[in-house]
Structures are given as structure tokens and as C-alpha cells.
């Protein structure tokens, strides 16, 4: 049984015209254990379904096929078609950004499964503690946005705004589906350096000055982030591309690859010193901004071995020292 189980899911995806961005993300999601466990037993119907439910339906069918014994390659044509019906920019066969696709894709899966109820506005007493505000905001958010996908991928960011004149601080809490982290200027750095840049205090001045609630006028403020609530699956996007996508950074970011090696505790809003994550998938982008090619590196849930998924070609086991490279673009971590 073990030998057979350790081969399941080692299934390539045919490229149907510049769709390596999609194939790479699907492989990473396919190796997200709790999502795949759910999808393998999900049976929805296509009839009278919303566009999002059709995407979910096709994705579940695809995952079920990918995790069937002796299936080595599948063609994600129906999923691409369903997705393009909802998101027109994907209806041609141009190369797209994998992280942008991931956000749209998870949003569609969430919407298809969302049993949340829209309704009441959020009113929170300003005198409550930050943690109480965070909990109430989260409860309000989860009443509106309630799905397995949200359960798995969404965390909560705490944003603190401090007036440099009167010292008044205001906090807001927002859900996040991934962390997009900037890269420092050095050609080689650790992932911690990117996370430090993400949460570090920035000064809002000039045009960016917010209005201080206490001074009742626009003031120079500082803004900083911490993580209030850590997700089960943490997606970290390394911002290699400029906003205009004209240039790409090829820095090597050394990220933790071993079990429980990533400790996010120091980025938490509350000093709970240990929040450990294990890497299980990477979406790699090779080449330039104009073209380039995406592949996925994923850790098999049974054999615990790493494989490269390059469209329809699946490599034999890779060693862990192949994981860190200048191509790493999206990192998928599971909380341990």
C-alpha cells in the first residue's frame, strides 16, 4: 500500500499554450494536503452552478484524476475554460503571473464554498484591548467569509498607525491570503530579511499623511505591521517583479526548507515565541519578465520526497539542496 500511495499525485499537467503559470500553481495546491483531501471527496454538480462553482467543480475533478493510481498526465483544459469564463484576461494563451492567478483562483474556490452571510457593519468599542478588537474583527469577517479555503489560507494582519505629533496610536486588523514581501538590495539574503522589510515601520509623510483621530488634522505618522493570526497554510510571495513587470530581481533568498524550520514567532503581534512552519511547495519562475517559464517543486505527503513538476514532466526525487534558487517565486508553508 505504501509504495502505491507514495506514487499517487505524481502527475504532470499538459501545457495547453503558455499555461505553465497555472500548472505550477495547481501542483502547489495539489500538495496542500487538507485542500486535496477535501477535493478528492467533493462531488458538486455543474448544473445551475455559478461560474465560481464551475471552477471548483472542474478543479475537484482534476485533483481526483491527478490522485488516481497509474494516471501520469492530465490536461487541465476544462479547468482553464471554466476559469477563463469568470476571468476574461485568462481566455487567451498569454503568459500570466502565477501569484496573481493564485489569488484569483483561491478567491473563486472560496466564493464557490462560501456559506457566510453578508449583513451587519462592524462597530467596535475603541476602549477594548487590541486582542479583543482583533477577535471581534475576525469573528465579524468569518461570519461574512466562511469556507474551507478561508480556514486554510487566511491570516490576520495588525496595522499600527502612530501620530508623530501627539503619539496617538490606532490599530486596524485585516485579513491576508498571502504575504508579498520585498527583496533587499543585496544579491543574497535570508527570508527573514524580506520579512523584516515587510513589517518594518514606514513613515507616512507629505501626500501620504493620514488624519490623526486625536489631532483632527493630517499628521506625519509611522505605520507598521505585525501578524495577529497565523494561517494554517502560509503563502509567501517574493516580489521579484517591478510593478510594471519591466524588470525582475534575481536575488537568491535563502528560505528554510526543513520541517518546522521557519519560525514566524518574532513577527507576531503577541510575543508567542514559537510559530513553526514547514515548507511543502515552491512555484519557480525561470527566465526574464517577457517570457520565462514556471515549474513547481513539491514535497509528496506520503514519501516526503521532493519532485519537480515541469508541465507534463515529473522528476524523480530531488535533494533538498536544490530548493533554494534565484527562481523561487512563491513559497508554500504548512503550520506544524
Instruction: Point out the residues that are catalytic.
Output: 20, 293
Distance of CA 323 to the CA centre of its chain: 18
Four-residue CA torsion sign, 244, 184, 240, 335 = negative
SS3 per residue for the chain: CHHHHCCCCCCEECCCCCCHHHHHHHHHHHCCHHHHHHHHCCCCCCCCCCHHHHHHHHHHHHHHHHCCCCCCEECCHHHHHHHHHHCHHHCCCCCCCHHHHHHHHHHHHHHHHCCCCCCCCCCCCCCCCHHHHHHHHHHHHHHHCCCHHHHHHCEEEEEEEEECCCCCEEEEEEEECCEEECCCCCCEEEHHHHHHHHHCCEEECHHHCCEECCCCEECCEEEEEEEEECCCEEEEEECCECCCCCCECCCEEECCCCCCCEECHHHECCCCCCCEEEEEEEEEEECCCCCCEEEEEEECCCCCCEEEEECCEECCCECHHHCCCCCEEEEEEEEC
- Asked whether the beta carbons of 32 and 8 are under 8 A apart, the reply is no
- Candidates 76, 3, 7, 63; CA nearest to 316 is 7
Phi, psi (degrees; rounded to nearest 5) at 227: -100, 120
Q: Are strands 252-254 and 188-190 parallel, antiparallel or unpaired?
A: parallel
Amino acid at each position: 500500500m505504501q509504495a502505491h500511495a507514495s506514487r499517487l499525485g505524481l502527475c504532470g499537467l499538459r501545457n495547453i499554450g503558455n499555461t505553465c503559470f497555472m500548472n505550477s500553481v495547481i501542483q502547489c495546491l495539489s500538495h496542500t494536503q487538507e485542500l486535496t483531501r477535501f477535493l478528492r471527496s467533493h462531488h458538486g454538480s455543474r448544473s445551475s452552478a455559478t461560474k465560481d462553482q464551475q471552477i471548483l467543480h472542474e478543479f475537484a475533478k482534476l485533483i481526483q484524476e491527478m490522485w488516481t493510481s497509474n494516471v501520469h498526465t492530465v490536461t487541465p483544459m476544462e479547468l482553464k475554460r471554466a476559469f477563463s469564463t469568470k476571468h476574461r484576461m485568462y481566455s487567451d494563451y498569454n503568459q500570466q503571473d502565477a501569484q496573481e492567478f493564485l489569488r484569483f483562483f483561491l478567491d473563486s474556490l472560496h466564493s464557490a464554498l462560501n456559506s457566510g452571510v453578508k449583513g451587519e457593519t462592524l462597530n467596535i468599542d475603541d476602549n477594548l484591548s487590541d486582542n479583543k478588537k482583533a477577535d471581534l474583527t475576525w469573528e465579524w469577517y468569518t461570519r461574512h467569509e466562511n469556507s474551507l479555503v478561508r480556514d486554510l489560507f487566511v491570516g490576520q494582519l495588525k496595522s499600527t498607525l502612530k501620530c508623530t505629533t501627539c503619539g496617538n496610536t490606532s490599530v486596524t486588523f485585516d485579513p491576508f491570503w498571502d504575504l508579498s514581501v520585498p527583496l533587499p538590495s543585496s544579491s543574497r539574503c535570508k527570508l527573514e530579511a524580506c520579512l523584516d522589510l515587510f513589517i518594518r515601520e514606514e513613515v507616512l509623510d507629505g501626500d501620504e499623511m493620514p488624519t490623526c483621530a486625536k489631532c483632527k488634522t493630517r499628521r506625519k505618522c509611522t505605520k507598521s505591521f505585525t501578524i495577529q493570526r497565523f494561517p494554517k497554510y502560509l503563502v509567501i510571495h517574493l516580489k521579484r517583479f517591478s510593478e510594471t513587470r519591466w524588470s525582475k530581481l534575481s536575488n537568491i533568498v535563502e528560505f528554510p526548507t526543513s520541517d518546522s524550520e521557519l519560525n514566524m514567532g518574532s513577527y507576531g503581534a503577541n510575543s508567542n515565541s514559537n510559530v513553526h512552519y514547514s515548507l511543502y511547495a515552491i512555484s519557480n519562475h525561470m527566465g526574464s519578465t517577457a517570457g520565462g517559464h514556471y515549474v513547481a517543486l513539491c514535497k509528496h505527503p506520503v514519501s516526503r520526497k521532493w519532485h519537480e513538476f515541469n508541465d507534463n514532466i515529473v522528476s524523480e526525487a530531488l535533494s533538498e539542496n536544490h530548493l533554494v534558487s534565484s527562481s523561487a517565486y512563491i513559497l508554500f508553508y504548512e503550520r506544524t
